[in-house]
Structure 1
């Protein structure tokens, strides 16, 4: 029996991760664009503060020794330092988040890592918007710049290593739960950074204009 298209699309861990998080990922994208982070320097600074909190929350995952053995040069993919430098480029001090940050470990941390690396793949259109504000990979938008190997090639290599992790179905389920937690945390910090009400989502009928 040949696999159906639906079965085939969920044949790897990364594809299952994507399938299980697509809905919440879309709500994150819509919420980000609804606050117009590139409409002004003021909004962009808020966006950088948001990014700095999230990337600080995942920084220890990038430095995890076991994961670095499974995913070569993972530590060098971390972008928290780059976001801090972006803030400095704009004359802003490192942002101090007033609450304890998640320090996820184990299988859930893999889900957080998936979100962080996936955000770099999807940052191409964000990088274009930042360039319209005259920020680039050397000034103000360092953390949005593409990997030296290119976004697509780097992501494909990362996914290969991700799929090679020896995870049981139970471990995969924990990783997927971790990814969902990461997206939810991102939305919580976004609401606080941009002054939105608790639980706010993108306005009904909102259509993000990415291009």
Structure 2
């Protein structure tokens, strides 16, 4: 074979993570569209329930002292509180936790989860435009989709630059990949749960 391995496996860790999560990411995007979150405020509220559940499960990671040593502004990046306020705006109860949340992952695995959470802020730039059509905004009902301080692209570049610069063992490389894939699987579960638990319309 004359094909270079790097042609199939990107050299940057962030690019590799994008590559290996492409399939679950595509499936999740299709599932989100199937639930039509931007059809009505009620539909959007269920989407926010899923976002809150996912973000609330990651609060411990965003506030982990060891991870903050790696990503100094990590705590400020968390969107759990923004999603909780969105639920209040949408007259939707804060959901109870769903069994199966990530518990005490190692550093590398945790960074895989955070990679997915932080990456979703890029897609949120398109989602916030759809939310505006429902009468929502970065200050009402769609706060968790709002533009982070310093901008989406810059925040993402800083995060991936840090992630790409870390020296990992083979075991840690496997762990960060596992974390990223598990994050997509988990959000898919929470999304299904959020729409399955939607209150019956009167």
TM over 0.5: yes
Counterpart of 1:199?
A: none
CA deviation after TM superposition for structure 1 residue 100, in Å: 5.0
Counterpart of 2:53?
A: 53
Counterpart of 2:146?
A: 145
Distance verdict in 2 for CA 1:101–1:142, change over 3 Å: same
- For 1:9 and 1:159, locate their aligned partners in 2 and report how far apart those are by CA, in whole Å: 17
CA deviation after TM superposition for structure 1 residue 169, in Å: 2.3
SS at 1:75 equivalent:
helix
Counterpart of 2:68?
A: 68
- For 1:100 and 1:160, locate their aligned partners in 2 and report how far apart those are by CA, in whole Å: 30
Q: Work out whether residues 14 and 162 of structure 1, in 8 Å CA contact, stay in contact via their aligned partners in 2.
A: yes
- For 1:100 and 1:5, locate their aligned partners in 2 and report how far apart those are by CA, in whole Å: 36
Q: Which moved more, 1:5-14 or 1:156-165?
A: 5-14
Counterpart of 2:200?
A: none
Unaligned runs of 5+ in 1: 197-211
Q: Please tell me whether residue 156 in structure 1 is matched to residue 157 in structure 2.
A: yes
- For 2:165 and 2:66, locate their aligned partners in 1 and report how far apart those are by CA, in whole Å: 14
Q: Please tell me whether residue 28 in structure 1 is matched to residue 28 in structure 2.
A: yes
Q: Work out whether residues 62 and 75 of structure 1, in 8 Å CA contact, stay in contact via their aligned partners in 2.
A: yes
- For 1:19 and 1:97, locate their aligned partners in 2 and report how far apart those are by CA, in whole Å: 30
Q: Which moved more, 1:85-94 or 1:21-30?
A: 85-94
CA deviation after TM superposition for structure 1 residue 6, in Å: 5.2
5 Å-filtered alignment, 1:155-194, equals 155-194=156-195
CA RMSD of aligned residues (A): 1.9
- For 1:154 and 1:114, locate their aligned partners in 2 and report how far apart those are by CA, in whole Å: 12
Unaligned runs of 5+ in 2: 198-202
Q: Work out whether residues 58 and 103 of structure 1, in 8 Å CA contact, stay in contact via their aligned partners in 2.
A: no
Distance verdict in 2 for CA 1:130–1:173, change over 3 Å: same
CA deviation after TM superposition for structure 1 residue 180, in Å: 0.8
CA deviation after TM superposition for structure 1 residue 96, in Å: 1.5
Q: TM (normalized to structure 1)?
A: 0.86
- For 2:187 and 2:130, locate their aligned partners in 1 and report how far apart those are by CA, in whole Å: 20
Deviations 1:109-147 (Å, cap 9, x if unpaired)? 111111100111111111111111111111111110111
- For 1:40 and 1:103, locate their aligned partners in 2 and report how far apart those are by CA, in whole Å: 34
